[in-house]
Every structure is written in C-alpha cells, then in structure tokens.
C-alpha cells in the first residue's frame, strides 16, 4: 500500500486544480472556494469538540451558502449525539481537498471522514486508503439497493463499497420559456432541434450579438454528455484508448459546437469564472437556454421570466453524466464506529442528508428519501427539481480510471484549443488520443 500511496502523492503534485471537468467546479456552486476572508486550510464549520467525546474530523469542499447548509447539518448531528463531536473543516474545492487528503494520508494525519469528488474515488480506492463499508452497512441493515442506482457508479471498486453519495448532481437543460414562446418555439429535445431553436433566438446588431441562443459552462462535463448522447464512450472497453475519437464521435461533437459558436447560436464563456458568467447571462435574458448543473437551480431565483428545465437534448440516445461528491471513511481512522455513526446518519436520518438536499438542491440519493413527503411536496411545488431526478435513469459513468484526473488535464487543453483558439478539431483530438494512450499505458 505504501507504494500506491507514494504514486498517489506524485499525482497530487501534478494535478492540483486540474479536475474541473465533470466536477462542476466551473459552476461556482459545487467544490467552491472559501469566502475571501476565510483561510481554506483552517476554516472550521463547527465548534471544537468537548472533552470526553469521540472526535470525528470531517473534511469537505463546500463554501459559500452551500457551506452554510453543510455546517447546519453537522451542527444538527452534534446536537443529537452527545457522545460524538464532528469537526467539519472546509479544505478548498474538490481538487484541493483531494490533494490535501493525499498529503495527509502520507503524513498519517488524514481525517476520519471526507467528502471526495466521485471521479477521485477510484484513485483512493486503488491505494487502499478508503474503508470498506460493507460490514457497517450490514450492521445497520442497509444495502446498495437502498440507494438510487444512477448515483452509485463510483461507490464500489474491487468488491469493496468505499463511498456513498452525498452532494450529487447532473447537467441539466435550463430554458427561458417566455423567450421561446415569443418565437413560437417548442423546447428542443434533439440536437437538430436545439441547433434550430438556438439560431432562431439570436439577435445581432451589426457585428455585436445582443442575444445568444445557448450557453454552457466551460467544463468537460458537457462535451462528455454530448459524446454519450451521440452513442459514444470516453474510453474503449479495455481502457487503453479513446473510443469516441476512434469512431469519429469526437469530431462530430466539437464540429456541432463550433458551428453553433460561429453563428452566435452558442456563447462559449471565458474559462475563468465561467459558471457565474453564464448564470448571469441567463438571468439577464442575454441567452435563451443554458447547460448547467442541477446544483445551481436554487440560486436561479427572482427571475423576470418563466424558467423550465428539461433533459439535455439527445442525438442518438439520452445520456447524463453524473457529478458532485461522495462521502467516505479513511482506513486510518481511530474512531471508525463513531465515523460510521455520522455517515449512516447523513445517509438515512431525515435531519441529515434529506434536509441538506432540500436546502441545497442536490439530488436525493436514497430510495426512501425520494419517497418522503418532504421530497414529494417539494417536487409538486418545484417541478423543475423533479426533472433533475428523473433524468438519472439515463445516468452514465464513463470516467472510471485511476488516471482520470491526469487525462482530464489533457482533455481541457484540447477543449481550450478547439473552443477558444479554433484549432483544427481532428488534429487536436488525434494529439489528445496519443497523449492519453501514453498516460493509460503508464498507469
């Protein structure tokens, strides 16, 4: 295991801040950074433990308003468990948390429980530093079948259940319904329809675009969604190369995006702070449709138009990559029973994850949670949030590899070359394929 942890440390140094893709870091909601006045390394989100209690250190990646909801959940646990005190600590965004976790494991200072962006789970599971939860689940009369299947794709590796869903999301289609109605347009359900509607919404005066049809966050989540919708897979079956490049789907996806970008049908934002930029454009009516995370739904309030959500338009099939983070226990925890008490409470108690989901807008992750009156009433009041859950039947998890973060570094370079610098699509993808095969071969 020491060798595996050592290898993981090398990866940490190289990859700090590179897993924006598929984690929705660009959204400005998930995996967010700490408030400016707060130190990410030391920011505590609950009080220090009292003497005589089992102390559980819990690291997470939620700042801002979402972080406040996380703090409230931790405080509810502490108030109802007199013999356990959970100390929640914000560790920066998803990438920063994973890097600090890698470093803490090497230094034998790891937390008992951690939030972990789901694409990182396999890397830590492979290093054998995440506790197998199967026996704990059995003792609590739980099983994997109690959870929403579309959110369990990053929980079990090598027959060990090492993480459970927590703050999970998918990309979703946001639409300014008033804008479409004014033009007599229906909500698009296919790529062809999306292209036509997006172009129909464009307003151009001289050389300046006053309104765009569609926008999306600069994040690999969305190209990956389109790849799956076109019937492709990211890796081939043996995870030795890239399926979507070999069969021409990559060229199809990026050609589709570039064609819309050239006509003004697609506004592709700057990479820096892209989530906030597209949210503001959508709110201000400067764009009619948006691909964004389900996790921002609660923040799109006080709109001056009717907003509806829908499944992302399909090409050949519907497909939705999942995002967000899971919760896991580290093998080095000295308080494993207490750590499991906290995890189990988060996953099953109405005052735990259920209230957190209602507060934040993340997806309900257990079948019982979905059936609760609170969730059913919420969906009746806010049907847009039910759409986010319904599309989980089309969930896909193509990003499974211990070197996924490193591959994503290269994929983001390709996205930038194509979408910002208008480099040749085919040669850019061929170069990406060559580099990815080198990375996969070295794992």
**What does each C-alpha distance from 87 to 4, 49, 202, 271, 382 come to in angstroms?**
28, 7, 50, 34, 33
CB 398 within 8 A of CB 329: no
The pLDDT, as a whole number, for residue 44 is 55
Q: Which residues of the chain have pLDDT under 70?
A: 1-51, 398-399
181 bridge partner residues: none
The model's pTM: 0.84
- Enumerate residues 6+ apart whose C-beta is below 8 A from 53: 82, 83, 84, 85
The domains of the chain, with CATH numbers, are: 2-169+323-371 (3.40.190.10), 171-321+399-442 (3.40.190.10)
Considering only CA atoms, give the Rg of the chain. Answer: 22
Closest Cα partner for 185 from 171, 204, 199?
199
The pLDDT, as a whole number, for residue 327 is 98
With 0-12 / 13-18 / 19 or more C-beta atoms within 10 angstroms meaning exposed / middle / buried, residue 422 is: exposed
Phi, psi of 199 (to 5 degrees): -70, -35
The pLDDT, as a whole number, for residue 394 is 93
At 48-96, the pLDDT tens digits run 545 678 999 999 999 888 899 999 999 999 999 999 999 999 999 998 9
Beta strands in 171-302 (DSSP E): 171-176, 203-205, 208-216, 266-267, 287-293
The pLDDT, as a whole number, for residue 8 is 54
The pLDDT, as a whole number, for residue 396 is 87
Q: How far apart are CA 366 and CA 347, in angstroms?
A: 8
Q: Which two tokens stand for residue 50?
A: 């009292």
Closest Cα partner for 13 from 279, 405, 275?
405
Kindly give the pairing relationship between strand 113-117 and strand 323-329: antiparallel
């Amino acid at each position: 295991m020491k060798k595996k942890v050592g290898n993981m440390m090398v990866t940490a140094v190289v990859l700090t801040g590179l897993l924006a893709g598929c984690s929705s870091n660009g959204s400005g909601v998930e995996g967010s950074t700490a408030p400016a006045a707060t130190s990410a390394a030391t920011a505590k989100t609950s009080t220090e433990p009292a003497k005589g209690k089992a102390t559980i250190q819990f690291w997470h990646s939620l700042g801002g308003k979402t972080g406040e909801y996380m703090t409230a959940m931790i405080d509810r646990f502490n108030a109802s468990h007199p013999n356990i005190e959970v100390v929640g600590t914000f560790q920066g965004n998803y990438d920063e948390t994973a890097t600090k976790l890698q470093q803490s494991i090497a230094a034998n200072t790891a937390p008992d429980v951690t939030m972990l962006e789901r694409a990182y789970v396999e890397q830590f599971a492979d290093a054998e530093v995440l506790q197998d939860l199967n026996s704990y689940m059995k003792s609590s009369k739980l099983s994997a079948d109690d959870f929403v299947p579309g959110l369990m794709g990053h929980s079990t590796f090598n027959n060990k259940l090492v993480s459970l869903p927590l703050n999970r999301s998918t990309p979703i289609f946001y639409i300014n319904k008033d804008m479409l109605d004014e033009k007599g347009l229906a909500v698009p359900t296919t790529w062809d329809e999306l292209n036509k509607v997006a172009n129909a919404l464009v307003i151009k005066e001289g050389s300046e675009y006053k309104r765009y049809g569609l926008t999306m966050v600069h994040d690999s989540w969305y190209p990956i969604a389109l790849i799956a919708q076109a019937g492709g897979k990211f890796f081939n079956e043996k995870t030795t190369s890239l399926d979507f490049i070999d069969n021409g789907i990559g060229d199809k996806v990026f050609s589709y995006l570039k064609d819309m970008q050239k006509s003004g049908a697609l506004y592709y934002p700057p990479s820096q702070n892209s989530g906030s930029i597209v949210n503001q454009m959508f709110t201000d009516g400067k764009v009619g449709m948006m691909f964004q995370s389900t996790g921002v739904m609660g923040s799109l309030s006080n709109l001056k138009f009717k907003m509806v959500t829908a499944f992302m338009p399909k090409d050949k099939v519907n497909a939705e990559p999942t995002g967000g983070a899971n919760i896991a226990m580290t093998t080095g925890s000295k308080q494993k029973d207490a750590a499991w008490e906290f995890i189990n409470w988060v996953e099953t108690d109405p005052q735990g994850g259920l209230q957190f989901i209602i507060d934040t807008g993340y997806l309900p992750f257990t079948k019982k949670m979905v059936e609760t009156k609170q969730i059913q009433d919420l969906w009746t009041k806010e049907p847009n949030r039910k759409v986010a859950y319904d599309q989980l039947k089309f969930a896909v998890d193509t990003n499974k590899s211990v070197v996924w973060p490193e591959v994503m570094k290269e994929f983001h370079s390709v996205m930038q070359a194509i979408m910002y610098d208008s480099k040749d699509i085919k040669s850019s993808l061929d170069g990406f394929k060559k580099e990815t095969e080198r990375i996969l071969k070295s794992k």
